Structure 1
Amino acid sequence: MTLVSEGTAAVGETGGRRRFGIAASVSLVVALVAGGALLIAGPPGGGPKPPPARLTAAAAWPKVVRADFDPAMPDGPLFSPLRFLDTATAVGTAPTNDARSVRLGVRDAAGFRELRKLPLDDNPQFEAIAVDGDDIVWTESTDGQPRVRIWHASRRGGPATLLTADTGNAIFFGNQWDLAISGGVVRWAAAGGANTDIRSVALSGGPVGVQSVPGNWSLSAWPWLVDENERRLRNLEKHWDAEVVTSGPETATCSPVWCRVMVMSGDGLARIDLMHPDGSARRRMAGGDVQAAVDDVAVLDRFEILAEPGPDADLTGTTTLLVYDASTSRTIEVSPAVDGAFTGGGLLWWSTGGNEDDVRWHVLDLRTT
């Protein structure tokens, strides 16, 4: 039985790696279910066939929307995007020009709209961001106020408002579901001893609901959870579990729709496969010289974001940014030398330029491929 989700989903790269209150980039909240190919038989004595030859992004997606994003603010400091809303609009942070405070805000062609300003000495952290339509929600903590607080603002304007400070021992994995909006409700996970608390609050505010689930879980596309060992998926609304099917020396990182499978050999990573959680539609995405570039699995239930270090990667710190398209089994080269890549809301963005003074951002809307 192949699992099909009502939304996209992703979890972190390795099991058993809970992180408490650690800053992370954020989250996809739109869904596009792409069909998988049938299981590809491998050559004698090997695994699934390698994917066809690579294409450039221009050749594969001639109508895709992409843009360059200059991080220089009008008053001098550099803007660091945390989440792109479209190819021209991002939520992110920038220091004040006196370097005393950090501003969180929305930047677009019209300028910068400040949502929050916190003293730099308090080490402010914006751990997760979720967007649904005009609603922007984020988590915030400081050294002086370590408990995570959740804030809300409208993209259309108006002041930011505190949704809740009743967040429990919030946990974040650096994927799109650390903070998620569904049906007018914001959800996140919190550690609860031997249990995981799935906490929620309405976008309009009010009391926090808590659903305690035995074991260690992370949020996925609602109503799904993924266990810390990536071996089970749980549907909280239908009250049933699904096992992830793997075999041999391999580990899987799963959403309700796809799993990224790291196949190991005696020498380390042998290849990376993609499959449905029940083991069907399995195919090889890449060899052992390629890495997952982001924690999210199969963005928009279709695109795996990969990084291929070059021969000088140890010196330059850059990798080739690749996208594996599950709908065509093709690998697309997006950029030959990137410093870091991120996903959210169906967009992919990455930085180039190396040092902070020369950094440039680039964004591609995968929804337009």
Structure 2
Amino acid sequence: MIPRDCTPLGLALAVLAAVAVVILPAPAPAVRAPAVPSVTDVWPGARITAHTVTGPPYTPLAYLDSETSAGVARASDSIRLTLGDRVLREVPLPGSPRFVLAVSPEALVWLELSDITGTGALWRAGPRGENPVLVTADTGRVVLQDSQYDLVVHEDQAGWVAVRGDATEVRTVALSGGPVNRTPLPGDFALTAWPFATSAAVEQAGPSELVDLRDGRVARVGGQNVELVDCTPSWCRVQVLRQSGTARFDLMKPDGSERRRVGGKGIRPAFGDVVVLDRYAVVVDDDRGVLALYDTATGRMADLAAEFGTVLARGPYVWWSEGENEALTWRSLDLRTLEASA
């Protein structure tokens, strides 16, 4: 009912308000982000193998096949480097060495390093851990980047990087033993896919470099002063920075081509390597709390695990832990099964 003392102007405004209430559209429904498929949704042939740890806590350092890994087991009185049931090295506590492992068809090779000094020794054994022998104790202070390229095996040689003053030394030695060769590089570098080294300055934004160790040629990879750029010869990872962290996660070729956005501020690398098998980037999506896989060939993202702890990759394998020491399971994915089922 309209009040009697309402003026014509008031009457008009009241009518307009009533009409407005009737014709205003309802609030638009919230737009949900599209669901991210799982790895097995995208690649039905993906082979993920579970390995439950029984006995001392165990961390795989390399997979020889889907069922066999070499890794470190910590007992109450020692640390053991093992391959299946074979003990390759055993170091009594309180010594706490760090092992870095590389696998080739001809040999299993590892660095045994002091947690305190970063120095140690290089060992090799047969492809199934037979007859371990010391190759050299001339390792220098080794640079580790949480990468499968911390130790590389190529042409019957092993290669790694050591710090010498303000410079970097790329060190190589024949697996049969002998003198250690040193190639000095000014600045901070780490090995990537052989025969390249890449800039390794921690949290230093701006351009990056790739050095061809065969002839010393340097390729400069462009990057803005708000970008962290990490490169291999095949792909570079670009993390665009902002005051509170990373704003965007991109991948591109070293010449700047094929740049694409992988994700926003919630995406970060799962480990040091840019890509695995020159194709797959393994990332953590902190917004959703999942481990995910990005395929550079198709531009698709797929969830790998909703529960994970340690994440590692060597060769064609990616593996991650689930649970704690009392109920620890390692799950490994052979990335070649993705390519086979594409």
Shorter-chain-normalised TM-score: which range? 0.7 to 0.9
The question of 1:366 aligning with 2:309 is answered no
User: Aligned AA for 1:246?
Assistant: G
- Identity across matched positions, percent: 37
| 8 Å contact kept, 1:320–1:336 | yes
Structure 2: gaps (5+ residues): 1-32, 202-206
* Cα gap change, 1:310 to 1:52, in 2 (>3 Å): closer
**What secondary structure sits across from 1:270 in the alignment?**
strand
| In structure 1, distance between residues paired with 2:264 and 2:118 | 42
Distance 1:103 1:268 in 2: 38
How far residue 125 of structure 1 moved from its aligned partner, in angstroms, is: 2.1
Note closer, same or farther for the CA distance 1:357–1:310 as it changes in structure 2 (3 Å cut). Answer: farther
Could you tell me which residue of structure 2 aligns to residue 69 of structure 1? 51
What amino acid is the match of 1:162?
A: L
Counterpart residue identity of residue 91, structure 1: A
Q: Is the 8 A contact 1:55 1:330 kept in 2?
A: no
Measure how far apart 1:246 and its partner are. Answer: 2.2
Partner of 1:114: 87
Task: Map residues 161-310 of structure 1 onto 2, 5 A cutoff.
Answer: 161-229=133-201, 231-247=208-224, 249-310=226-287
Task: Name which of structure 1's ranges 323-332 and 287-296 shifts more when overlaid on structure 2.
Answer: 287-296
Question: Is the 8 Å Cα contact of residues 122 and 144 (structure 1) preserved in structure 2?
Answer: no
Contact 1:53–1:330 at 8 Å: present in 2 too? no
In 1, distance between residues paired with 2:318 and 2:94? 31
Supply the distance in 1 between the matched residues of 2:209 and 2:258 (Cα, whole angstroms): 18
Q: CA separation of 1:266/1:79 partners in 2, compared to 1, >3 Å: closer, same or farther?
A: closer
SS in 2 for 1:55: coil
Quick one: structure 1 residues 105 and 366, their matched pair in 2 at CA, closer, same or farther if it must change by over 3 Å?
same
Output the CA distance in 1 between the equivalents of 2:200 and 2:115: 28
Instruction: Name the SS for the 2:94 alignment partner.
Output: helix
The residue type equivalent to 2:180 in the other structure is V
* CA–CA distance in structure 1, aligned partners of residues 244 and 185 of structure 2: 38
Residue 53 (structure 1) shift: 6.2
Question: Which structure has the higher relative contact order (CA within 8 Å, separation 6+)?
Answer: 1
Task: Please report how far the alpha carbon of residue 249 of structure 1 lies from its aligned counterpart in structure 2 after TM superposition.
Answer: 2.1
Question: Aligned partners of 2:326 and 2:80: how far apart in 1?
Answer: 19
Task: Mark the structure with the bigger radius of gyration.
Answer: 2
Say if 1:52 and 1:329, in contact at 8 Å, map to a contact too: no
Q: What are the superposed Cα offsets for residues 38-69 of structure 1, whole Å, 9 maximum, x if unpaired? A: xxxxxxxxxxxxx9963211121111222001
Tell me whether 1:104 sits opposite 2:76 in the alignment. Answer: no
Are the aligned partners of 2:241 and 2:248 in contact in 1 as well (CA < 8 Å)? Answer: yes
Report if aligned partners of 1:253, 1:261 keep a CA contact under 8 Å in 2: yes
Instruction: Give the Å deviation of 1:239.
Output: 2.7
Letter in 2 for 1:100: D
Matched, 1:94 2:91: no
The letter of the residue matching 2:52 is D
One-letter identity of the residue aligned with 2:43: W
Corresponding letter in the other structure for 2:261: R
- RMSD (Å) for aligned C-alpha atoms: 2.1
So what's the TM-score if we normalise by structure 1? 0.77
Q: Match for 2:254: what amino acid?
A: P
Aligned to 2:98: 125
Q: Could you list the runs of 5+ residues in structure 1 that have no partner in the other structure? A: 1-50, 312-318
What's the counterpart of residue 60 of structure 2? Answer: 81
- What are the superposed Cα offsets for residues 240-275 of structure 1, whole Å, 9 maximum, x if unpaired? 111112236222111111111111245532211110
2:294 is aligned to 324
In the aligned structure 2, how far is the partner of 1:173 from the partner of 1:266?
A: 25
Please give the secondary structure, in 1, of the residue aligned with 2:330. Answer: strand
When residues 188 and 266 of structure 1 are mapped into structure 2, their CA distance, relative to the original with a 3 A threshold, is closer
Q: 1:141 to 1:212 in 2, by over 3 A?
A: same
DSSP-derived class of the 1:327 partner: coil
Note the C-alpha offset of 1:147. 3.0
Q: CA deviation at 1:196?
A: 1.5
Query: 1:17-36 counterparts in 2 under 5 A?
Result: none
Aligned to 1:41: none
Aligned residues: 301
Q: Match of 1:59, SS?
A: helix
- 1:236 to partner: Cα distance: 1.7
**Kept in 2: contact 1:53–1:331 (CA 8 A):** no
Answer whether contact 1:260 1:275 (CA < 8 A) is retained: yes
1:24 match: none
1:90: Cα distance to partner?
A: 0.7
CA shift, 1:146, in A, is 6.4
